[in-house]
Amino acid sequence: MSHEHYFICPHCGNRSMGIDRNAGFRREARGCEKCGFAYLFELLDDYYPAPNAAFFACDSGGRIVDCGKGSFELTGLKTEQAIGRPVGEVLGLRFDDGTDHVHTALEWEVRVKSKPVEVNAERDLPARAVADIFPAYDDEEGGVLVVLTPTNHR
């Protein structure tokens, strides 16, 4: 019996399911059927981001490779201002418990869920959010998807 996998696009936030992690019989990563983005992140179980969630795709060094849906609304930063820079530095992430959860997800390839964080992006006011961080489950590239859901309390 085949098992379906859950995927999420870091660019538009579209969720999808599929039996295969690759695009057909090729070894290429699955792309987004909705927006055409080149790759998806696999989720261990289905994940429903809030409508105002901000997506940041990072490489294996934690540097931003794409700012997706909701990122400008949360940070005021355009994608060109963030690409190639460390996500923690660009977003000014300060987790409430003092842990660098992005580093943890990268190093241990584990999912980190529901971590309260202060986001203080360049030229923007500090904002409260909840972070969900997903490692890339591939053998080559690594990386993480950082999803920040703004909260309305200080």
In terms of residue numbers, what domain contains 135? 5-150
Residue 97 φ then ψ, to 5°: -90, 5
Contact partners, residue 67, CB within 8 Å, separation at least 6: 54, 55, 56, 77, 78, 79, 82, 83
Q: What is the CATH number of the domain that holds 140?
A: 3.30.450.20
pLDDT in tens, 111-154: 999 999 999 998 678 999 999 999 987 656 779 999 999 997 55
Burial of 15 (0-12, 13-18, 19+ CB in 10 A): middle
pLDDT in tens, 15-55: 888 876 665 555 677 889 999 998 888 887 778 888 899 99
Quick one: which of 31, 32, 29 has its CA closest to 12?
Answer: 32
Kindly state the tokens that stand for 34.
């909705």
The full length of the chain comes to 154
Report the distance separating Cα 135 and Cα 31, nearest Å: 17
Quote the number of domains for the chain: 1
- Coil, helix or strand for 50? coil
